[in-house]
A = this chain, B = another copy of it.
Amino acid sequence: MEKLTHMNEQGRAKMVDVTEKQETVRTAHAKSCVVLSKEVYENIIQLKMKKGDVLAVAQVAGIMGAKKTADVIPMCHPLSLTGVDISFSWQECEDGQYALEIDTYVKTKGSTGVEMEALTAASICALTVYDMCKAVDKSIVIGPTYLIEKTGGKSGHFKRQEE
């Protein structure tokens, strides 16, 4: 039997080894945004959407989404989250549209950071808003979605400059 090893090593994917990383408290704060029409905004605020209370459902979806992060992001390490919180605020845009700002805060005590959990929570939360409102308007836009701040771990404190 002849060994043939022409596998290209370059592109190989792996869940990198974090066994030696220290367990510390880690937090992450991410943000997403959903931009929608005045009509949709009023339907949400007045609880008139046929699928139900948009923000209540989206918040639950975001929190559950945080717990599913390692399940949907292939190279992400599984983590036992110790806290997830999501808050909403509205902005009136100059073009007459409304922006729903979604802030997610995730915490754990573990060997890897929780940036992905905060970003995934924000994304699932925003997608749920879209789902609850798409019967009224399909042109809703999600994003930008990004990390605001993280603490803990070897790479230490990160705070987005332009905020």
Q: Which B-chain residue is minimally distant from A2 (CB atoms)? A: B92
As a 0/1 sequence over residues 69 to 94 of chain A, the CB contacts with chain B under 8 angstroms (1 = contact) are 01111111111111111111111111
In the bound complex, do residue B147 and residue A144 qualify as a contact, i.e. CB atoms below 8 Å apart?
A: no
Size of interface on A: residues with Cβ below 8 Å to B:
99
In the bound complex, do residue B4 and residue A92 qualify as a contact, i.e. CB atoms below 8 Å apart?
A: yes
* A interface, over-half SS: mixed
Known contacts A14-B85, A15-B63, A61-B73; A127 and B131 CB within 8 A of each other? no
- A13 surroundings in chain B (CB, below 8 A): 51-53, 56-57, 59-60, 63
In the bound complex, do residue B147 and residue A89 qualify as a contact, i.e. CB atoms below 8 Å apart?
A: no
Alpha-carbon distance A111/B83, docked complex (angstroms): 11
As a 0/1 sequence over residues 83 to 115 of chain A, the CB contacts with chain B under 8 angstroms (1 = contact) are 111111111111000000000000111110001
Alpha-carbon distance A87/B7, docked complex (angstroms): 9
In the bound complex, do residue B124 and residue A72 qualify as a contact, i.e. CB atoms below 8 Å apart?
A: yes
Please report A residues at the B interface, Cβ cutoff 8 Å. 1-7, 10-19, 21, 25, 32-33, 45, 47-48, 50-53, 55-57, 59-61, 63-68, 70-94, 107-111, 115-116, 119-120, 123-124, 126-128, 130-132, 134-135, 138-147, 150, 155, 158, 160-161
Given A16-B83, A67-B70, 12 more pairs with CB closer than 8 A: A1-B94, A5-B90, A19-B83, A32-B143, A72-B127, A123-B127, A138-B150, A141-B144, A141-B146, A142-B146, A144-B144, A145-B145
